[in-house]
Amino acid sequence: MKTIGRHLEPRVESALRSARVVMLHGARQAGKSTLASRVAAAAGGVSVTLDDEATLELVRADPVTFLSSEPHPLVIDEVQLAGDRLIRAVKRLVDADPITGRFLLTGSTNFLTVPTISESLAGRVRILHLWPLSEAEIAGTGSLPIEAWLDGEPPPAHSWLERGDYLKILCRGGFPEVLGLAPADRHGWFRDYAATVVQRDMVALADIRRRTAAAPLLRWVAASTSGEINLTKAASDLGINRATVVGYLEWLRTVFLVHELPAWSRNVAAQSIRRPKIYLTDSGLAADLLGADASALTSPVSPVLGRLWETFVVGEVARQVASSAVRADLYHFRAKNQREIDLIIQRPDGRIVAVEIKATVSPTASGLRHAAWLRDRLDQSDPGSFLGGVLVHMGTQSGKVGDRLHLRPASALWTSV
C-alpha cells in the first residue's frame, strides 16, 4: 500500500522542536505508529513498540535504563501498556535533562483519562490526536480545505462524484488497512477490530465486570450515531443499569471508538438543549456494525443513511480541524423550538460557521433555514459573529443561495475547482 501523507505530520515535527515529550494518541490502526516512526527516523531517532511482549517486560523491569539507552527522539508505541511506572520514568529523565524532542509517545487510549496512569506530564508534554485517514489525505489534498471554510466563504467546488460513490466512501471509512480491501474482506477486518479493542484494550485497562455487555453497547451506539444518547433507554434495551452504561461509554471514548459534539449555546439561543451528540469515530466501522453496505444504503428510505452520512461528514471536518494550525471547536445546536443545526464550527474569537448535512442529491435553500434563522439572530445580538452557513450534500450543486449561505457537495471538503 502506498504511503499516504498525513496532515498532522508538520504539527508533530513542530511539537518535537518545542516540547520535551510529544504524545500522539488516537484509535488503534489510525496510523500512529507509521507517522511517529517516519518523523522519528527523519530526525535520527528509533521506535520501539510495547505490543512486543519481550520489549514490554524489559521496560517494566527497568524503565529508566531502557529509556536512557536509546537514541532520541525515541518513539514508544502503545505507551499505556506499561502504565504509570514508565510515565514517571519519562518525567524523571526529561526533568533531569530538559532538551526538546526527547520522547514521542503513542497510545490507543486517551492519555489523560486512563486511571492506571496518574502522571499527566503537565508542562512537559504536547498532546496531539491522530484520527483515521481523512478523505483529503486519501485524495492527496495538500492543504486543509476546512481552513477556507472558517473564513465563511467556502471555495466553489465541482463534483464528479455520484450518490453511489459517496456511499462507497462512507462504508469504506478511513482506517488505512481497509483502503485496499474488498467489501467482504472489510467486514472481517471491522469485526476483528471491534472485538480486539473491546475485549483487549477496554477489558485490560478498565474495571469491567460485565464484559459481555461492552460489544452490544458499541452496536447500540452505532445505531444511535449522530444522535443524543438516552442513557435510560440504553440501559433498558441492553438489560444493564444506567451507571454501567455511563461507565462503558466513557471507556468507548477513552479508546477513541466514539467522540462527542457538545451543545453550542449563546445568549441568543438561551433555550438551547444542552445534551451532546455522540458519533462513532469512523463511518465505515459504524456502517459495518449496523450491517449496512453501499447497496443497502442506496434505498432512499434507509433508516440509517442520514445518521451514517452525518457521521461521515462530521468525521471529515473533525479530522481536518485536529490537523490544522487554525484553532476551532466543534458543536451542534438544537433549540426547544425544534430548530437544529448539525454542526457549528467556532473560532476562538467566537465567530461561527453553521453546517447542515443532508443525504440528498437535490439540495435547496430551505435546507439552510435554521442557519438563516441563527444568522439573523446573531446579526442583531453579536454582529459579525455569523461567518456563513453551508449545506453539505451528495449532489453536484455548488453556489450561493442567500446572504452568507452556500450549497456545497461533500467532496468540497477534499477537492476544489
pLDDT tens digits along 35-72: 999 999 999 999 999 988 899 999 999 999 999 988 89
**The pLDDT of residue 119:** 66
Asked if residue 14 belongs to a domain, the reply is yes
Alpha carbons 93 and 76: distance in angstroms, whole number: 14
Asked whether residue 90 falls in the same domain as residue 199, the answer is no
Asked whether residue 114 falls in the same domain as residue 174, the answer is no
Which of 82, 112, 129 is the last residue in one of the domains? 129
**The pLDDT of residue 52:** 87
Q: Is the pTM of this model over 0.85?
A: yes
Rounded-to-10 torsion of CA 113, 118, 122, 127: -40
Q: Which residues of 353-381 are buried (b: 16+ CB within 10 A; e: fewer)?
A: bbbbbbbbeebeeebbebbbbbbebbeee
Task: Tell me the one-letter amino acid at 207.
Answer: D
* Collapsed DSSP state (helix, strand, coil) of residue 108: coil
CA 217 to chain centre: 19
CA 96 to chain centre: 35
Asked if residue 2 belongs to a domain, the reply is no
**The pLDDT of residue 272:** 56
Q: Which grid coordinates are listed for 371?
A: 442557519
Comparing CA positions, the residue from 312, 308, 286, 289 lying closest to residue 297 is 308
Residues facing residue 402 across a β-bridge: 405
**The pLDDT of residue 208:** 56
**The pLDDT of residue 395:** 95
Asked if residue 386 belongs to a domain, the reply is yes
Residues facing residue 22 across a β-bridge: 104, 126
Asked whether residue 162 falls in the same domain as residue 176, the answer is yes
Asked whether residue 218 falls in the same domain as residue 100, the answer is no
By residue count, the chain amounts to 417
Which of 129, 148, 181 is the last residue in one of the domains? 129
Asked whether residue 176 falls in the same domain as residue 89, the answer is no
Residue-number span of the structural domain to which 43 is assigned: 9-129
Asked if residue 82 lies in contact with residue 60, where contact means CB atoms within 8 angstroms, the answer is yes
Alpha carbons 150 and 351: distance in angstroms, whole number: 9
Asked whether residue 258 falls in the same domain as residue 370, the answer is yes
Residues of the chain with pLDDT under 70: 1, 114-119, 203-211, 267-273, 416-417
**The pLDDT of residue 300:** 79
Comparing CA positions, the residue from 132, 102, 113 lying closest to residue 21 is 102
Alpha carbons 16 and 177: distance in angstroms, whole number: 27
Asked if residue 133 lies in contact with residue 316, where contact means CB atoms within 8 angstroms, the answer is no
Asked whether residue 213 falls in the same domain as residue 116, the answer is no
Alpha carbons 274 and 251: distance in angstroms, whole number: 22
- Domains contained in the chain, number: 2
CA distances from 206 to 50, 114, 115, 193, 218 (A): 19, 8, 8, 18, 16
Asked whether residue 145 falls in the same domain as residue 118, the answer is no
How many contiguous H segments (helices) and E segments (strands) does the chain have? Answer: 17, 14
Alpha carbons 210 and 238: distance in angstroms, whole number: 12
Alpha carbons 299 and 279: distance in angstroms, whole number: 22
CA 287 to chain centre: 16
**The pLDDT of residue 7:** 97
Asked whether residue 91 falls in the same domain as residue 191, the answer is no
Residue with cell 504524545: 23
Q: Per the omega criterion (within 30 degrees of 0), is the bond before 73 cis?
A: yes
- Full strand arrangement of the beta sheet holding 227-228: 227-228, 277-280, 258-261
Task: Tell me the one-letter amino acid at 268.
Answer: V
Which of 80, 114, 129 is the last residue in one of the domains? 129
CA 91 to chain centre: 28
**The pLDDT of residue 93:** 94
Asked if residue 1 belongs to a domain, the reply is no
Comparing CA positions, the residue from 16, 231, 26 lying closest to residue 111 is 26
H helix runs in 258-336, sequence order: 283-289, 294-297, 305-323
Alpha carbons 105 and 292: distance in angstroms, whole number: 36
Comparing CA positions, the residue from 36, 33, 4 lying closest to residue 137 is 4
Asked if residue 401 belongs to a domain, the reply is yes
Alpha carbons 109 and 143: distance in angstroms, whole number: 28
Asked if residue 3 belongs to a domain, the reply is no
Q: How many CB atoms lie within 10 A of CB 167?
A: 25
Asked if residue 4 belongs to a domain, the reply is no
Asked whether residue 60 falls in the same domain as residue 143, the answer is no
Instruction: Give me the CATH number covering residue 53.
Output: 3.40.50.300
Q: How many CB atoms lie within 10 A of CB 348?
A: 9
Asked whether residue 281 falls in the same domain as residue 407, the answer is yes
Asked if residue 139 lies in contact with residue 179, where contact means CB atoms within 8 angstroms, the answer is no
Asked if residue 267 belongs to a domain, the reply is yes
**The pLDDT of residue 1:** 55
Asked whether residue 123 falls in the same domain as residue 181, the answer is no
